[in-house]
Amino acid sequence: MNKKYLLLLVFFIVIVVNCCHRCCVKKSDTDYINICGTIKFLSEEGGFYGIIGDDKKNYDPMNLPDEFKKDGVRIKIKARLKPEIPTFRMWGTVIEIIEATECQCKDKCEGKCK
């Protein structure tokens, strides 16, 4: 019976240490990704805006600013991946936008768009 309690205690300590590590570790620029893509309005689940990246991946922004909520807008963003956040939409990888700028041309964001 003592082995069960000891195992439970060790399990609890591992979880607490893991949670503390995640909360206390400072994020660096290497935790961010740069994405260029096109805003798309999708009518599923009551409607939402997603980003179709130039890398052919779909991104589900948690915090897309209202000024970018227009279908077809080209956008360049700095974001943090949030795959641990569940959504009902199940469309793309959830991201938290850190910085966003609109591209001024229809070409790829890299190089020609600023």
How confident is the model over 24-76, as pLDDT tens digits? 444 554 688 999 999 999 998 789 999 999 999 999 999 999 999 999 999 99
How confident is the model over 67-79, as pLDDT tens digits? 999 999 999 999 9
Torsion angles phi and psi, residue 76, rounded to 5: -120, 125
pLDDT at 89: 81
pLDDT at 114: 46
The CATH class given to the 29-102 domain equals: mainly beta
pLDDT at 21: 53
Cα–Cα distance measured from residue 73 to residue 54, given in angstroms and rounded to the nearest whole number: 13
Rounded mean pLDDT of 6-25? 68
For residue 61 the two structure tokens come to: 């922004």
End-to-end CA distance of the chain: 65
Predicted TM-score (pTM) above 0.75: no
pLDDT at 71: 94
pLDDT at 63: 94
Cα–Cα distance measured from residue 84 to residue 46, given in angstroms and rounded to the nearest whole number: 22
